Chain A
Amino acid sequence: MYLGYVVDPELLKKDPHFRMGCVFCHKGNAKVMNREEAHKGLVERPSDNLRSCMACHKQITDNYAKSLHYTTAGLRTGVMPRFSKEELATFDEKVFQKSCRSCHAACGDCHVKGAPVGGISIGLIDKHKFVRKDEGKTCKFCHGGRVYPEYTGEYGGAPDVHYQKGMLCMDCHKKAEFHGDGNAYLTKGEVKQRPACKNCHKPGDEAKLTAQIAHREHEGKVSCYGCHSGAAYRNCYNCHGGHAEAKPGMILGRSPRDKKLLTTLRLIPTVRDTFAPAGIKMENYDALPNYWDTPAHNIRKRTDRTRNCDVCHVDRKNFLTREMLIKEGSKANEELLYVPKPINR
């Protein structure tokens, strides 16, 4: 049994995961002293095969096998309307299985060792301890480009007010969201257990009359993020061969999923030739816009828009305009433009 620097020997005594020895999960041969022999057939990431965990955690692994963190189906669903039937088949074979699916999270990626992202691994989360959660390492490592640094304020602007108050990812996002509920959803929009601002912040409970009026007036017209996103967030431009350029920005416009709703939009990096290396032209490229509604994780109680109606209604600050649209973008982008009207006082 390996008792080296990586695994804390004290853990081996305490945690039931180690009762069967390393070989139970990692295979290899614990009976020999020769390094080469001992490592023969070694499985580096045992939980890539969910059966490794299934023996003891059947219900969770059954659910997890269908969850979006494991299937990564959301990535496919998000782009497939751009493809013809033939292109989708090519995408599934050459891109989805080889690239998108490699991003799936196995049990161990959240509970033992951070997932390798772009070939870089953070190593063990806590000396091979099976941790219940450690958002600052596990969530951050995969969602560290956009969500996490926006949430903590490290991308610029103040931290999200929920982080300011000491809240972490799993204070809003519950376990069922990660492990799944046994249904194989195609997109996160279908997941019922997702958090919503109104779960905690009931309309009408506001302390100030001005806030009550503002919320009532914008109900169903503007998303919470539309007013309460506090700073510029990361937008990715021009994904060619896996290389995109990121720039900070706040973009307001109609939600592609609900054109009656104004919200924060985030530029996604897919451009017309993103999948050209796989021989996919994207025949229906214009079926989807380049800007998607985004739940920006940089919520503040006060923003320039909550302080002053004129910021939107007169200055139209941050609203997507025709001039701002990316060059050679989707024709569907036009449908997201909105010009706020002055208020009749």
Chain B
Amino acid sequence: MQVLKRWKAMFVLLFLLLPATVMAQGLAPILSTDDLAKSLKDSGLVIVDIRKVEEYRAGHIPGAVGIFYNNWAPGRGGLMNEMPADEELLDLLSDNGIQSDSKVVVYGTTGTGADRVNVTRVAWALKYSGVQNVSVLSGGFEKWAVREKRDVSTEMARPKSRGYKGKFNKGLLAKKDYVIGQIGKAMIVDVREPAFFSGEQKLPFVAKAGRIKGAVNLPTGQVFEKYPPGDHLEACCWTYKDAASLKNMASGVVGSDLDKEIIVYCDSGRVASAWWFILSDVLGYKDVKIYDGSMEDWAKDDKAPMEP
């Protein structure tokens, strides 16, 4: 009888803890529209629409808050796409009721290369701020609304402001001096297309063509595929390739040692976020940083070693 009571008590305790366990698990880092639709009523869910205010107001995923991309990656100190000051991030998170244990899903559009990486750049800023569960919506708003014709809302979300208490995770961001010190020690990954990696091409805002000395190349263009695959005439958007393909690509370049320090960079620190997110949140590499200044910052410093 005593044993039966104990089992009963354990069962009740387990039942009570179940929601907390599910919450702690969070959502998949790369979230499908089906999974988001199933999770719309989850407690602690905050959907962040990073499109422009005009687009957000014209229609968004029900319940989403609109926080335009530029809020998460403003120009600072003469560089584009920089991490906002801590107090600015605190304002953004607090004003929108985001807590470190919130389940945040970021979505935007996927039409251009920049659009496709904006969501992961925002995910990086959220993780840097200490938000633990961050997902990005594969296929973006186009897949949700245009292709699948799911519900959209024009009602602006009015989140309740709550002081953000999370602990910042500053180890996710590398600055130039740190990167210089890690040459030969960390795996430095250039995520630009091969012509930029090899120095054949450069963007106008980058002072010199070339790459950081010792960097390896893992191009971002390989991360996405048109959706639906194989039928380009009807393609609505871009989704992430499956985890196995991403793993094959990544391990071929950075290896399979999940403990090795990896620093990813691009031209302005935006594109680098796609592989940063995949390496750290999808594939489980434990120490992945973004060099925020990237080549825009690096190439104008004659003391920063470059090749070829």
Residues of chain A having any CB pair with chain B under 8 Å = 134-136, 152-154, 156-159, 163-168, 231, 301-302
Contact = CB atoms under 8 A, between A and B. Distances in A.
Contact of A168 (B54, B71, B76): B54
Nearest to B71: A164
Interface residues of B, number: 23
A159 B54 contact: no
B68 A163 contact: yes
Contacts of A165: 95
B298 interface: no
B134 to A, nearest CB: 20
29 contacts: A135-B54, A136-B52, A136-B53, A136-B54, A136-B55, A152-B52, A152-B68, A152-B70, A153-B68, A153-B70, A153-B74, A154-B70, A156-B80, A157-B74, A157-B75, A157-B76, A158-B70, A158-B84, A158-B88, A159-B70, A159-B71, A163-B68, A164-B92, A166-B57, A166-B66, A166-B156, A167-B53, A168-B57, A302-B88
B122 to A, nearest CB: 14
Greatest chain B CB density within 10 A among A136, A158, A167, A168 is at A158
A166 B54 contact: no
Interface of B: 52-57, 66-68, 70-71, 74-76, 80, 84-85, 87-88, 91-92, 95, 156
Contacts of A157: 74-76
Contacts, number: 53
A241 to B, nearest CB: 26
A26 B306 CA distance: 62
A241 B148 CA distance: 52
A163 B70 CA distance: 10
Contacts of A164: 67-68, 71, 92
Given A152-B70, A159-B70, A164-B68, A134 B54 contact: yes
B53 A163 contact: yes
B225 to A, nearest CB: 29
B54 A231 contact: no
Given A158-B70, A168-B57, 9 more contacts: A135-B54, A136-B52, A136-B53, A136-B54, A152-B68, A153-B74, A156-B74, A166-B53, A166-B57
B84 A301 contact: no
B57 to A, nearest CB: 7
Contacts of A163: 53, 68
Contacts of A135: 54
Contacts of B91: 301
B71 A156 contact: no
B75 A156 contact: yes
Contacts of A167: 53
A62 B80 CA distance: 46
Contact of B53 (A158, A168, A301): A168
B46 to A, nearest CB: 15
Contacts of A158: 70-71, 74, 84, 88
Nearest to A230: B74
A164 B66 CA distance: 8
B84 to A, nearest CB: 7
Nearest to A136: B54
